[in-house]
């Protein structure tokens, strides 16, 4: 196996429908590559027809199957595939994505020509297989760039100049097996992992994408990309990753544009927070989380630049808390309204909770399993029943104070 050049490593779990299309694609890839290639698929104890599909495909591909006896988790399963590889170079391939053969071959040639390089990173395309159209590309750079071992300053400046997330790469096998990079929730792995590889050798950032992330395989197959879900929550880990990389640059030198880097580290997480809030408001995310995110942006001096008025975000969060979150926490059976609540607001409340929403005109209309929402009620009998009989009594004034 000394001539084995490339290992294509695929972790999978219960994705036979998509994996089947990838395996057909890889028949074309392997046939066109001018060097020996292997495919490693690690099946994370799927209970669909994944294993039968893989066994059938062994007659058509240089395929090694790893069978996990139980689900070991996504990251360990990915590491299992990568560590089983025997090629000079490793490339991760999701079980529903594609490789661009000519660009992949060019990337391998660049690594061959740069034996000091531990890894090659490149942008990636977004492609719709139904239309055949490339619909986007994650980051662009004007030329190929080589970064010398240990030059963390140049790495950070390159990332900052082109807003790069270093996610798609080809690795030297011995580098991966020596470093075993493992992500955590404190610092974004796409900033910290390339720093690990840069400690072991040079890094190449290629201009040409060799990887396609597939947004749609079939009609009706509209799935969120991983990066889409990350942007909804990961802004603090983005900041953490940039700070780790900045610390390496400060400790080891190499920064030539410190002001530009400092601005990027400050602004990039804020931009991601703004994008996350905008998406949450558009897609109906948790209103309490949206309020907290808006409050953070307001605290950064951006209150006038929010994607929706703060008053609207506050109001939505307050009603959600009173009619959904609090009743669920207390295991309430209904939401009871007292005071001057317009019919339009009552209908709005009924639309955001699965519990019955009703008005109480008399004290006996308030039950022991109710959350009472009080819109400036002046009836002392009702108020006393709300305070003493209900699970919780929440006033509109209290909500305004809570979501200030």
Domains parsed from the chain with CATH numbers: 4-218 (3.90.550.10), 229-310 (no CATH), 321-402 (3.40.1010)
CB 6 within 8 A of CB 112: no
Interacting residues of 15 by C-beta distance below 8 A, sequence separation 6+? 46, 48, 50, 95, 96
CB 190 within 8 A of CB 166: yes
Between the CA atoms of 63, 66, 71 and 73, what dihedral angle is there, to the nearest 10 degrees?
-80
Secondary structure class of 149 (helix, strand, coil): coil
φ, ψ for residue 224 (rounded to 5)?
A: -70, 140
Task: Summarize pLDDT for 331-369 with one digit per residue, the tens.
Answer: 999 999 999 999 988 898 999 999 999 999 999 999 999
Tokens of 276: 């996350």
Q: Single out the residue of 147, 170, 169 nearest to residue 158, CA to CA.
A: 147
Low-confidence ranges of the chain (pLDDT < 70): 1-2, 222-229
Q: Single out the residue of 254, 276, 253, 255 nearest to residue 264, CA to CA.
A: 255
Q: Single out the residue of 218, 215, 205, 134 nearest to residue 164, CA to CA.
A: 205
Around Cβ 157, how many Cβ atoms within 10 Å?
A: 21
**Cα separations (Å) of 130 from 35, 165, 210, 212?**
31, 27, 20, 14
Q: Single out the residue of 396, 391, 393, 398 nearest to residue 382, CA to CA.
A: 393
Q: What is the largest CA-CA distance in the chain?
A: 87
Secondary structure class of 121 (helix, strand, coil): strand
**Cα separations (Å) of 184 from 12, 192, 268?**
21, 10, 20
Return d(Cα 398, Cα 326) in angstroms, integer: 13
Secondary structure class of 202 (helix, strand, coil): strand
Q: What is the pTM of this model?
A: 0.87
- Residue 231's pLDDT is what? 73
Return d(Cα 228, Cα 243) in angstroms, integer: 22
Percentage, residues of the chain above pLDDT 90:
90
- Residue 1's pLDDT is what? 44
Q: Single out the residue of 99, 128, 80, 134 nearest to residue 27, CA to CA.
A: 99
Return d(Cα 284, Cα 392) in angstroms, integer: 26
- Residue 230's pLDDT is what? 72
């Amino acid at each position: 196996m000394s001539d084995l050049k490339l290992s294509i490593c695929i972790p999978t779990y219960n994705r036979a429908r998509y994996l089947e299309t990838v395996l057909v694609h890889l028949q074309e890839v392997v046939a066109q590559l001018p060097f020996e290639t292997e495919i490693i698929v690690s099946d994370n104890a799927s209970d669909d027809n994944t294993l039968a599909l893989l066994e059938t495909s062994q007659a058509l591909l240089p395929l090694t199957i790893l069978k996990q006896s139980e689900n070991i988790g996504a990251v360990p399963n990915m590491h299992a595939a990568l560590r089983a590889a025997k090629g000079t170079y490793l490339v991760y391939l999701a079980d529903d994505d594609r490789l661009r053969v000519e660009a992949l071959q060019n990337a391998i040639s660049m690594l061959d020509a740069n034996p000091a390089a531990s890894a090659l990173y490149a942008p990636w395309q977004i492609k719709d297989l139904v239309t055949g159209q490339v619909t986007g590309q994650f980051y662009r750079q004007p030329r190929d760039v080589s970064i010398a071992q240990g030059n963390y300053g140049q790495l950070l400046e390159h990332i900052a100049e082109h807003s790069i997330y270093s996610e798609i790469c080809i690795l030297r096998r011995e580098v991966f097996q020596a470093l075993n990079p493992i992500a955590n929730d404190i610092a974004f792995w796409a900033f910290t992992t390339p720093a690990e590889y840069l400690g072991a050798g040079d890094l190449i950032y290629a201009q040409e994408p060799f990887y396609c992330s597939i947004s749609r395989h079939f009609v009706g197959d509209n799935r969120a990309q991983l990066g889409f879900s990350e942007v909804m929550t990961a802004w603090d880990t983005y900041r953490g990753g940039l700070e780790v990389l900045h610390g390496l640059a400060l400790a080891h030198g190499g920064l030539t544009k410190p002001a530009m880097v400092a601005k990027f580290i400050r602004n990039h997480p804020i931009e991601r927070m703004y994008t996350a809030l905008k998406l949450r408001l558009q897609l109906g995310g948790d209103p309490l989380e949206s309020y907290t995110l808006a409050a953070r942006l307001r605290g950064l001096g951006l209150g006038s630049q929010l994607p929706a008025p703060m008053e609207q975000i506050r109001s939505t969060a307050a009603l959600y808390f009173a009619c959904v979150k609090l009743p669920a926490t207390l295991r309430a059976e209904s939401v009871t309204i007292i005071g001057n609540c317009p019919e339009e607001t009552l209908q709005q409340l009924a639309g955001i909770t699965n519990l019955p929403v009703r008005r109480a005109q008399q004290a006996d209309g308030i039950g022991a399993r109710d959350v009472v929402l009080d819109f400036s009620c002046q009836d002392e009998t009702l108020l006393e029943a709300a305070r003493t009989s209900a699970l919780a009594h929440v006033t509109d004034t209290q909500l305004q104070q809570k979501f200030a």
